[in-house]
Amino acid sequence: MANFLFGAAGFVLAMVAVGLLCVLRGPSDTDRMLSAQLIGSGGVAVLLLVATVTGTPSIVDVALMLALLAVFAAVAFLRDASSSQIKPPNATDRV
């Protein structure tokens, strides 16, 4: 069973590496942010699988902190994206 879980962790880690390519070459900022979320979720999955196999409960704490940081990164991105879309009124916009 441990070999299967290590194999699953390796597969998830490989998929995270593919997601890293999308972060580096993504066509838009939104695609890059979603790929960064994939990396965070994949990292949490790998850490939880490794914690299960090795029986180390402190790795679960690290995985939970990584998940929390991923949420804060998404919120920060959304706040930045929404504030950049709001244009201040110009004198030329008035009719």
Kindly report the pTM of this predicted structure: 0.75
SS3 of 80, please?
A: helix
Tally of domains in the chain:
1
- Does the residue 89 lie in any domain? no
- Does the residue 90 lie in any domain? no
- Does the residue 48 lie in any domain? yes
- Does the residue 91 lie in any domain? no
Write the pLDDT tens digit of every residue in 18-31: 888 888 887 888 88
- Does the residue 88 lie in any domain? no
| Rg of the chain on CA atoms, in Å | 19
The pair of three-digit structure tokens given for residue 33, joined into one six-digit string = 């942010």
- Does the residue 75 lie in any domain? yes
Write the pLDDT tens digit of every residue in 39-76: 889 999 999 999 999 999 999 999 999 999 988 888 88
Identify the H or E element spanning 6.
helix 2-25
**Closest to 37 in 3D by CA, of 9, 76, 11, 1:** 76
- Does the residue 59 lie in any domain? yes
Structural domain that includes position 36: 2-83
Identify the H or E element spanning 48.
helix 29-54
